[in-house]
Amino acid sequence: MKEALLYKRLEQGRVRCELCAHRCLIADGRRGICRVRENRGGTLYTRVYGRAIARHVDPVEKKPLMHFYPGSTAYSIATPGCNFHCRWCQNWEISQLPREENFQEGTEASPQQVVAAALKAGCRSLAYTYTEPTVFFEYAYDTAGLAREAGLRNLYITNGYMTRDMLDMFHPRLDAANVDLKSFRDGTYRRYVGARLQPVLDTMKHMKRLGIWLEVTTLVIPGINDDDQELKDAAGFVARELGIDTPWHLSAFFPACQLLDVPPTPVETLQRARDIGLEAGLRYVYMGNVPGDSNTLCHACGHTLIRRSRYRLLENRVQAGGRCPHCGATVAGVGMGGDGDE
């Protein structure tokens, strides 16, 4: 147990958590929606500091981040817990684990140990991922500070439901993020996720203002968020509010958690969604979790710049300075042409 950051003490021993957009009002002896922040005697504690339930070395493309040091690896960590309750959650075994009253899952891993392991593995970055990193903010914050001192970059793979205060505090240590835009309908968020859409949209716009490299992912689910108008609205928001250089990842759904009766997403649906994204003016639209390539093409001349096989980089032809070797157009991203920062 470690005292949490970003909360206010109130009367009668209650506290207001200001970490995520739920802004839970928590009575003494109770926990927030995430189940990993607990009020004890008017002090809010995090129950998962240093409790790593997953630690892996992943290609950065698996996050997915296609325009952030392509071909590099990210040391990826998670603790139990999430502030969403998605009925289709792909990692529900660990994200929803704290609903068990006395969970003790995870192994002790200090921020120093995590950074040392990342350096030993030759990773360029640390990724806070798998579950929702916002709910293990204190752990990620301390780790990210040490990572930055060691020359590592920090990545957030998130549902985007943090408060502006949290993002403002973390952003000097944060280099890139992938935000999961689960739907472009508030009703879908309320029914299937237990949250609202607008805070996610606000987070993405604020990330752009702060200069954090941003990519967006939508899990396309048959019958829930796959109609043409919703996809057009989502693509239009990304293009208009986040910029046409913002990569949009379209992932296929496979039955999981409480949505076992929904069929997998047809490849044709993802292709249609990709066409909608390109028609909206987006320069980089990727299809994930399906057979085929995930190449990066030049938006100006159409030549293949980066060849991949799923998450494995095969060839990177982007020149130093982030330029297309054929037409000289700028390729959006960070570290696209090698080790330098573009």
Looking at the chain, the domain(s) classified CATH 3.20.20.70 span 51-259+276-287
Per-residue pLDDT, 83? 94
Helix, strand or coil, per DSSP, at residue 296: strand
Q: What is the dihedral of CA 140, 91, 64, 205, to 10 degrees?
A: -60
CB 73 within 8 A of CB 151: no
> Within a 10 A sphere around the Cβ of 202, how many other Cβ atoms?
17
Take residue 121 and report the two structure tokens written for it. 């593995």
Nearest to 125, CA basis, from 148, 99, 102: 148
| 37 sits in which H/E element | strand 37-40
Determine the Cα–Cα distance for residues 335 and 342; give it in Å rounded to an integer.
Answer: 5
Please give the C-alpha separations between residue 228 and each of 179, 223, 232, 282, in angstroms, as whole numbers: 21, 11, 6, 16
CB 117 within 8 A of CB 144: no
What architecture does CATH give domain 51-259+276-287?
A: Alpha-Beta Barrel (3.20)
* 10-residue averages of pLDDT along the chain (342 residues): 96 97 97 94 96 95 97 96 89 67 72 98 97 96 98 98 98 98 97 97 98 98 97 98 98 87 94 97 92 88 93 93 95 84 45
> pLDDT per residue over 305-334, tens digit each?
999 988 889 999 999 999 999 999 999 999
> pLDDT per residue over 262-277, tens digit each?
999 999 999 999 999 9
Per-residue pLDDT, 271? 95
Per-residue pLDDT, 341? 47
Residues forming beta bridges with residue 3, ordered by sequence position: 45
Length of the chain: 342
Please give the C-alpha separations between residue 312 and each of 26, 72, 105, 232, 306, in angstroms, as whole numbers: 45, 10, 31, 30, 11
- Looking at 63-149, list the stretches that DSSP marks H as alpha helix, in order from N- to C-terminal side: 92-95, 111-120, 137-149
Helix, strand or coil, per DSSP, at residue 201: helix
Per-residue pLDDT, 259? 82
| 219 sits in which H/E element | strand 213-220
Per-residue pLDDT, 75? 98
Q: At what angle do helices 137-149 and 111-120 cross, to 10 degrees?
A: 50
